Structure 1
Amino acid sequence: MEKQANNLLNITSLNTYYKLLFILLIFTLSANLSAQEVNYNSGTKYTIGEIKVAGNTNFGESTIISFSRLKKGDVIQIPGEKLSNAIKKLWGTNLFSSIDVYIINVEGSTIDLEIELYDLPELNEVTIEGVKKGKKDELIADNKLNKGTKVTENLITTTENYIENKYKKNGFYNTKVTVTTKEINDSIEKQRVNMLVYIDKGEKVKIKDIDFEGNEKLSDKKLRKAMKNTKRKNPIRILKRSKYIEENYKEDLVAVIDKYKEKGYRDARIISDTIVVNNDKSISLKINVEEGEKYTFGKISFVGNTVYSDEQLSRVLRIDEGSTYNGVELRKRIADDSKPDALDLTNLYQNNGYLFSTINPVEISADGNVIDLEIRISEGKPAYFNKISVVGNDKTNDHVIYRELRTRPGQLYSRSNVIRTIRELGQLGFFDAQQISPNLNNANPNEGTLDMEYSVVERGSSQIELQGGYGGGGFIGTLGLSFNNFSLKNIFNKEAYTPIPMGDGQSLSLRLQASRFFQTYSFSFSEPWLGGEEPIRLTTSISHSRQFLFNPQTRNADKSRRFNITGISVGIAKRLKVPDDYFQLSQAIGFQHYDLQNYNTGLFTFGDGTSNNLSYTVALSRNNTFTDPIYPTGGSNFTASAKFSLPYSVFNNVDYKALNQEREGLLDIRDDVNNSTIDRENAASRIGEIDQERFKWLEFYKVKFTGDWYTNPVDKLVLRSAVEFGFLGAYNNDRGVIPFERFFVGGDGLGNRTLDGREVIQLRGYPNQSLSSQDGGTIYNKFSLELRYPITLGQQAKIYGLTFIEGGASFNNFRDYNPFNINRSAGFGLRIFMPAFGLLGIDFGHGFDPLPGQTQKNGWETHFIIGQQF
Structure 2
Amino acid sequence: MMRTRLAAFLLFLTVATGAQAFTIEEIRIRGLDRIAEGTVLNYLPLEVGDEVDARASADAVEALFDTGFFDDVALLRDDDTLIIAVEERPAIARIEFVGNDAVASDRLREGLTAAGLGEGQSFDRSLLATIERELEQQYFALGYYDVGVESTVSPLPRNRISLRLDIEEGQPASVQPVRFIGNRDFDTDRLRDRFQMGPKPWWAFLSNRDKYSRERLSADLQRLRAFYRDRGYADFRIESTQVTISPDRQRIHITVNLDEGQQYTVGDIALAGDLIYPEEELRALLELNSGEIYNQRNITDTVEALRDKLGERGYAFARINPIPDLREAERIVDLTFFIDPADRVYVRRIRISGNETTRDDVIRTELRQYEGTWLSTSDLRESESRLGRLGFFSDVSIDTPRVPGTTDQVDVEVNATERLSGSLRAGVGFGSGEGVILNLGVEQDNVFGTGDRAEFVANSDDADTVYRLSYLERNFTMSGIDRRYALSFRDRDAGEADLADYGLKTTRASYGYRIPVTANDRVGADLTFEDVSLSFTDPTRIEQRFVDRNGTSNTNILADLSWTRDTRNSAVFPTRGGRQSTSLEVSLPGISDLEYYRLTYEQSRFFRLTDRFTLALDGTLSYGDAYGTGETLPFYDNFYAGGIRTVRGFELNSLGPRDENNDPTGGNVRALGRAEVRFPLAEDEEGNNLRLTSFIDAGQVWDREHEDLNGFTGISLSDVRYSAGVGLIYFSPIGPFTMSVAQPLNAESGDKKQPFQFTIGASF
TM-score using structure 1 length: 0.70
Q: 1:833 aligns with which of 717, 731, 740?
A: 731
TM superposition shift of 1:420: 1.7
- 8 Å CA contact retained: 2:648, 2:755: no
Q: 2:91 aligns with which of 100, 121, 142?
A: 121
User: Which residue of structure 1 aligns with residue 597 of structure 2?
Assistant: 701
User: Which residue of structure 2 aligns with residue 817 of structure 1?
Assistant: 715
User: Which residue of structure 2 aligns with residue 454 of structure 1?
Assistant: 414
AA paired with 2:228?
Answer: Y
Q: 2:742 aligns with which of 841, 845, 850?
A: 845
Secondary structure of 2:417's aligned partner: coil
Q: 1:177 to 1:251 in 2, by over 3 A?
A: farther
Q: 1:619 aligns with which of 559, 562, 582?
A: 562
Distance 2:88 2:99 in 1: 30
- 8 Å CA contact retained: 2:174, 2:199: yes
Distance 1:379 1:309 in 2: 14
- 8 Å CA contact retained: 1:848, 1:858: no
Q: 1:74 to 1:223 in 2, by over 3 A?
A: same
Unaligned segments of structure 2, at least 5 residues: 659-663, 705-712
Aligned pair 1:401/2:401, yes or no?
Answer: no
Secondary structure of 1:317's aligned partner: coil
Structure 1 residues 279-428: aligned runs within 5 Å? 285-305=254-274, 307-321=276-290, 323-335=292-304, 344-363=305-324, 368=329, 370-428=332-390
Distance 2:256 2:726 in 1: 38
Structure 1 residues 513-528: aligned runs within 5 Å? 513-514=459-460, 519-528=465-474
Distance 1:585 1:9 in 2: 89
Distance 2:671 2:28 in 1: 93
Q: 1:598 to 1:284 in 2, by over 3 A?
A: same
TM superposition shift of 1:268: 1.9
Aligned pair 1:538/2:477, yes or no?
Answer: no
AA paired with 2:490?
Answer: S
Aligned pair 1:716/2:716, yes or no?
Answer: no
Q: 1:461 to 1:550 in 2, by over 3 A?
A: closer
User: Which residue of structure 2 aligns with residue 764 of structure 1?
Assistant: 648
1:658-695 CA distances to partner (integer Å, 9 max, x unpaired)?
Answer: xxxxxxxxxxxxxxxxxxxxxxxxxxxxxxxxxxxxxx
AA paired with 1:269?
Answer: R
Structure 1 residues 569-584: aligned runs within 5 Å? 569-577=510-518, 581-584=519-522
Distance 1:262 1:131 in 2: 44
1:575-599 CA distances to partner (integer Å, 9 max, x unpaired)?
Answer: 223xxx3233333333422113565
Distance 1:790 1:524 in 2: 33
Distance 2:571 2:434 in 1: 37
Secondary structure of 1:702's aligned partner: strand
User: Which residue of structure 2 aligns with residue 587 of structure 1?
Assistant: 525
User: Which residue of structure 2 aligns with residue 638 of structure 1?
Assistant: 580
AA paired with 1:618?
Answer: L
TM superposition shift of 1:442: 1.3
- 8 Å CA contact retained: 2:451, 2:474: yes
- 8 Å CA contact retained: 2:243, 2:252: no
Secondary structure of 1:769's aligned partner: coil
- 8 Å CA contact retained: 1:777, 1:810: no
AA paired with 1:484?
Answer: D
Identity of aligned residues (%): 21
Distance 1:47 1:364 in 2: 82
Q: 1:243 to 1:624 in 2, by over 3 A?
A: farther
Q: 1:58 to 1:281 in 2, by over 3 A?
A: closer
- 8 Å CA contact retained: 1:807, 1:822: no
Distance 1:735 1:423 in 2: 45
User: Which residue of structure 2 aligns with residue 742 of structure 1?
Assistant: 638
Distance 2:475 2:468 in 1: 23
User: Which residue of structure 2 aligns with residue 789 of structure 1?
Assistant: 679
Secondary structure of 1:457's aligned partner: strand
Q: 1:861 aligns with which of 747, 756, 763?
A: 756
User: Which residue of structure 1 aligns with residue 453 of structure 2?
Assistant: 507
AA paired with 2:315?
Answer: Y
| Greater shift in the superposed pair: 241-250 or 564-573 | 241-250
Unaligned segments of structure 1, at least 5 residues: 1-6, 11-22, 31-37, 106-111, 336-343, 487-501, 552-557, 653-695, 750-761
Kindly name which structure, 1 or 2, has the bigger radius of gyration based on alpha carbons: 1
User: Which residue of structure 2 aligns with residue 58 of structure 1?
Assistant: 34
- 8 Å CA contact retained: 1:542, 1:567: yes
TM superposition shift of 1:404: 1.2
Q: 1:223 aligns with which of 170, 187, 191?
A: 191
Secondary structure of 2:226's aligned partner: helix
- 8 Å CA contact retained: 1:231, 1:240: no
Count of aligned pairs: 722
AA paired with 2:306?
Answer: L
1:134-175 CA distances to partner (integer Å, 9 max, x unpaired)?
Answer: x66677668768753456679878887787777777x65558
Q: 1:323 to 1:67 in 2, by over 3 A?
A: same
Q: Compute the RMSD of aligned alpha carbons.
A: 4.8
| Greater shift in the superposed pair: 409-418 or 776-785 | 776-785
TM superposition shift of 1:522: 0.9
- 8 Å CA contact retained: 2:472, 2:482: yes
Q: 1:864 to 1:241 in 2, by over 3 A?
A: farther
1:687-740 CA distances to partner (integer Å, 9 max, x unpaired)?
Answer: xxxxxxxxx933433332322222222232222222233233344795344312
1:502-539 CA distances to partner (integer Å, 9 max, x unpaired)?
Answer: 122111110113589864211111122221x2232222
Aligned pair 1:95/2:69, yes or no?
Answer: yes
- 8 Å CA contact retained: 1:303, 1:375: yes
Distance 1:278 1:610 in 2: 90
Q: 1:148 aligns with which of 112, 120, 133?
A: 120
- 8 Å CA contact retained: 2:675, 2:697: no
Q: 1:431 aligns with which of 388, 393, 397?
A: 393
Distance 1:154 1:567 in 2: 81
- 8 Å CA contact retained: 1:747, 1:863: no
AA paired with 1:802?
Answer: L
Q: 1:256 to 1:173 in 2, by over 3 A?
A: farther
TM superposition shift of 1:370: 4.6
Secondary structure of 1:811's aligned partner: strand
- 8 Å CA contact retained: 2:312, 2:375: yes
Secondary structure of 1:776's aligned partner: coil
AA paired with 2:624?
Answer: L
AA paired with 2:66?
Answer: G
Distance 2:735 2:272 in 1: 54
- 8 Å CA contact retained: 1:430, 1:461: yes
- 8 Å CA contact retained: 1:127, 1:196: yes
Secondary structure of 1:442's aligned partner: coil
Structure 1 residues 482-501: aligned runs within 5 Å? 482-486=443-447
Structure 1 residues 164-179: aligned runs within 5 Å? 176=147, 178=149
Distance 1:157 1:770 in 2: 73
TM-score using structure 2 length: 0.79
Q: 1:284 to 1:387 in 2, by over 3 A?
A: same
Distance 1:207 1:540 in 2: 64
Secondary structure of 2:636's aligned partner: coil
Distance 1:393 1:547 in 2: 42
